[in-house]
Amino acid sequence: MYVALPKALRYIEKELETAPIVSYIEKEGHTLKSTLEAFIDTVHNSKRAWSKEEGKFYRELEEEYEKKGRRGLEAKLKYGFYGYVSGLRFTESDIQNQKAVADLRYPVEWYPGTRKLQRKIHLHVGPTNSGKTYHALKSLEASDSGMYAGPLRLLAHEVYMRMNAKGKRTMLVTGEERRAPDKDPAFAISSCTVEMLDLNRQVDVAVIDEIQMLGSEDRGWAWTQALLGVKAKEVHMCGEARTVPIIQELCAMIGEKPIIHTYERLSPLEMDKQSLDGDLNKLRKGDCIVSFSVMGIHALRKAIEKKTGKKVATVYGSLPPETRAQQARLFNDPDNDYDYLVASDAIGMGLNLSIKRVIFETSTKFNGQERKTIPLADIKQIAGRAGRYKTAHAATTASEAEQDLSEIKGETSADVNLVSEVNVDSPDDSLRYKYQPTSAPSMYERALAISHPGADPSNPPKPPPNDPSNIGLVTTLEKQDFPLISKALRRDPPPIKTAGLFFPGSVVDRFTQYFPPGTPFSYVLLRLSELAQLNSRFHLCGLRDALWLADLIEPVRNLSITDRAIFTATPASFSDQDLWSALIPALARCVETQSGGALYDIAEMPLELLEEEVRMSRPYLRELEKLHKAIVVYLWLSYRFAGIFSTRAVAQEVKRRVEERIEKVLEGLSLENKRLEMRRRARAEAAGVEGKEEDVEEDEDEEDEEEEGEGGMVTEGVEGNEAEVLDESITEPDVLGEEEKTPSNAGPLYERAAELVRRARDGKNAQNGEQEKPSGLAAQLEIPKHLHDAVDNGVAEVGKDAASRP
């Protein structure tokens, strides 16, 4: 850092020359240069300080430089300068007032209207495919008014469709869409993403799905807000058993007693006898291979289709929800040749998939900063998608109106396997109190009476015996990952210890008033997070995307605090910087000028993509995915600034056309691979020499690269943040042991991708030389041996280079 610090100081000096805070500094009778010199002196004094407190800032600079390099150092220095300028005017009284505003220890008091209600809390817990969602959705269906809140647009849309099909007038509410039943504004039930849950409307029943997400470092605040703030007579939460302790403690804070319904998995889940050992010929119909990068997913799809001659459905986070649902239908249909599914961890929730066997391509994934072992909870949730009680044929032939709502998540009435039910007064009472029916039947009891007439609520009927053909199997592509996945399935993930929180808008407004004009909004948020006081049962959700978005719009000066807060909440992810770095400021300028918000007037919106011919290539698919995200953000903003972003109908039509193109490209890529396979076989037969098959495949690979174009493959962190999820995996302790975290060499797929990236970047083919052929999957992908260290020695960096290319 000795060399980097002077360079970083010169960089921020140049950047601050045009910053809005300069006018404030000059108004106070100082110059930017003199203020910077004084700040630099404090930095050097911190370095030389003997006391721990005085040397704190320099140590923080060193830590930031170690974690994030020069960019992290520059950001820390910039925020430190803003803090220095702001702190010059703060009195001791100001600081105490700031701390009082940042006191977040009592979030239960943020919802006084809800505290006046006597709510009944039901918590349905169990593993994937246990039927835990069934009774919650049945209670919603039996109610006169209600709300469903789920983690994904896809789930909200499915509940909306199924409820309306059953005659329940339901409204769809997501960040970028509002849809009334039959265009009639009258509705009894709303289906929404959890962030859009209406906390001002009082209903009979509210269902909060995937409640374990309250432990998320990014989106957990939305589930906590839903639990503490929803106004419903009955609140049904569905999720994993590891949420029970934290839910009990949160309910104790608000004086409510949760009734806990515990379910067991209906069909058994077992590890297969062995891994595939890299051999794609061992794949069977109904297999799903899970990879954790878009690059790996496309490489796998191509390799499988080339090897087997069958089509492969693909599902990953950056695909539109509508496309993911369409790919799921193709995989579930037994009457086509989509025998296999290649997917990211996006399959963990939200899709009705008939998977017989889940195959982990690797046991590690890139978390945005480093490659780490997949969290234990994620392994179990993904693996749990294997083995469906309902057959693929039944899942695809039943009409929407006939299917139970819980089938959205792979559960039917026969699947319900309720093994225990307790009324809990406190965390220690779970074994002492049995379910006690109320004098008037609750929505839960009414729903149970509808689905199982005559059943006792405390002892519902058991499902029929398991069909051996429905046993779910789990294995790995490479044998070195097999022991770790096997061990993970035998263990329980640790309980969730804290629930997420984020600052209410009123807190941000009040806190901002303590800072001089021109103080960057990102610094205000950072300062607020530093002063925030939290109860030990809560954690503050991450600010990375919010800070990044705040900095993007900082040059747009005439925005209110409310405007800036809205823009920092847009569903735009840090992983697509090349798209958002120009588009988000352009959208903010529309708000600043109160004009130019028509979709076709925004030059930074890449609409020209729709004027091009459809190309069957991965780079073109990636551009379509980015355009879809841009349209989603436009629609999201159109509901917050309706008078400015006024061409919502046009945007919805563009969104539909982009989704059609994405589906066409995915289908075309499969057909193209099949065509190339047929051509390869024909050429091999014409040659008449079976031994030359490898040469033919090598020629074909060169043709594929020519068709792919200079773009080659690009990497992307798979959602789940999906803003949507996310993405969005919950960070867990390293419970599997340090010695088991060796990356699987494994990523032959990554090695293959690294080769393509390198060829595209250097503009020439890698020199294969006379290399010994590797075994297993590497042999099938024809990867030169000298590239085998690409992943372990930094393929993530190679991928970043590829992603940053124009």
Neighbours of 694 (CB within 10 A): 11
How much is the average pLDDT of 298-305? 90
Task: Give whole-number Cα distances, 744 to 2, 362, 783, in Å.
Answer: 37, 6, 16
The residue with greater pLDDT, 751 or 142, is 142
pLDDT value of residue 205: 97
The residue with greater pLDDT, 707 or 276, is 276
Predicted confidence (pLDDT) at residue 799 exceeds the cutoff of 80: no
pLDDT value of residue 469: 62
Q: By mean pLDDT, which of 341-350, 702-711, 768-777 is the weakest?
A: 702-711
Predicted confidence (pLDDT) at residue 789 exceeds the cutoff of 80: no
User: Of the candidates 666, 716, 720, 701, which has an alpha carbon nearest to the alpha carbon of residue 783?
Assistant: 701
pLDDT band at 51 (very low <50, low <70, confident <90, very high): confident
pLDDT band at 423 (very low <50, low <70, confident <90, very high): low
- Can you tell me which residue has the tokens 């919950």? 730
The answer to whether 617 and 634 are in contact (CB under 8 A) is: no
The residue with greater pLDDT, 72 or 736, is 72
User: Of the candidates 369, 540, 441, which has an alpha carbon nearest to the alpha carbon of residue 120?
Assistant: 441
The answer to whether 7 and 74 are in contact (CB under 8 A) is: no
Q: In what order do the strands lie in the sheet with 287-290?
A: 269-271, 472-476, 357-360, 287-290, 338-343, 311-315
pLDDT value of residue 588: 98
pTM of the model: 0.74
pLDDT band at 186 (very low <50, low <70, confident <90, very high): confident
pLDDT value of residue 132: 86
**Interval 657-674: pLDDT, tens:** 999 999 889 888 876 555
Encode burial over 381-417: b for 16+ CB neighbours within 10 A, e otherwise. Answer: bbbbbbbbbbebeebbeeeeeebbbbbbbbbbbebbb
- Can you tell me which residue has the tokens 């919802």? 111
Neighbours of 137 (CB within 10 A): 27
The answer to whether 584 and 553 are in contact (CB under 8 A) is: yes
How many Å apart are CA 495 and CA 570, to the nearest integer?
A: 31
Looking at residue 318, the DSSP 8-state letter turns out to be T
Backbone angles phi, psi at 319, to 5 degrees: -75, 145
Mean of all residue pLDDT scores within the chain: 78
Predicted confidence (pLDDT) at residue 784 exceeds the cutoff of 90: no
**Interval 599-614: pLDDT, tens:** 999 999 999 999 999 9
pLDDT value of residue 747: 46
**Strands annotated E in 28-160:** 120-125, 146-150
The answer to whether 166 and 401 are in contact (CB under 8 A) is: yes
pLDDT band at 57 (very low <50, low <70, confident <90, very high): confident
CA atoms within 13 A on the CB side of 412: 14
Give the list of residues 6+ apart from residue 649 with CB closer than 8 angstroms, or none.
none
The residue with greater pLDDT, 157 or 698, is 157
Give the list of residues 6+ apart from residue 124 with CB closer than 8 angstroms, or none.
132, 133, 135, 136, 236, 237, 238, 239, 261, 263
How many Å apart are CA 220 and CA 212, to the nearest integer?
A: 9
β-partners of residue 471 are none
Predicted confidence (pLDDT) at residue 265 exceeds the cutoff of 60: yes
pLDDT value of residue 543: 84
**Strands annotated E in 538-622:** 538-540
Predicted confidence (pLDDT) at residue 102 exceeds the cutoff of 90: yes
The residue with greater pLDDT, 409 or 770, is 409
- Can you tell me which residue has the tokens 């051509």? 679
How much is the average pLDDT of 798-803? 39
Set out the domains of the chain in order of their start, with CATH numbers: 3-89 (no CATH), 111-262 (3.40.50.300), 269-391+470-490 (3.40.50.300), 543-683 (no CATH)
Which two structure tokens, joined as six digits, stand for 208? 């909060």
Predicted confidence (pLDDT) at residue 788 exceeds the cutoff of 60: no
pLDDT value of residue 189: 96
Give the list of residues 6+ apart from residue 577 with CB closer than 8 angstroms, or none.
none
Cα 360 off chain centre by: 19
Looking at mean pLDDT, say which of 250-254, 682-686, 769-773 comes out highest.
Answer: 250-254
- Can you tell me which residue has the tokens 């089509």? 311
pLDDT value of residue 610: 92
pLDDT band at 764 (very low <50, low <70, confident <90, very high): very low
pLDDT value of residue 202: 97
**Interval 507-565: pLDDT, tens:** 999 999 988 877 889 889 988 988 899 999 999 998 888 988 998 999 898 999 999 99
pLDDT value of residue 599: 96
How much is the average pLDDT of 131-149? 91
The residue with greater pLDDT, 725 or 204, is 204
Q: Is 673 exposed, middle or buried (CB count within 10 Å of its CB: 0-12, 13-18, 19+)? A: buried
Task: Give whole-number Cα distances, 443 to 137, 143, 144, 221, 427, in Å.
Answer: 10, 6, 10, 27, 25
Helix (H) or strand (E) holding 521: helix 521-531
How would DSSP label each residue in 370-414?
A: SEEEPPHHHHHHHHTTB--SS-HHHHHHS-TTTS-GGGGGT--GG
How many Å apart are CA 649 and CA 571, to the nearest integer?
A: 20
How many Å apart are CA 170 and CA 660, to the nearest integer?
A: 26
Q: Pairing between strand 371-373 and 418-423? A: unpaired
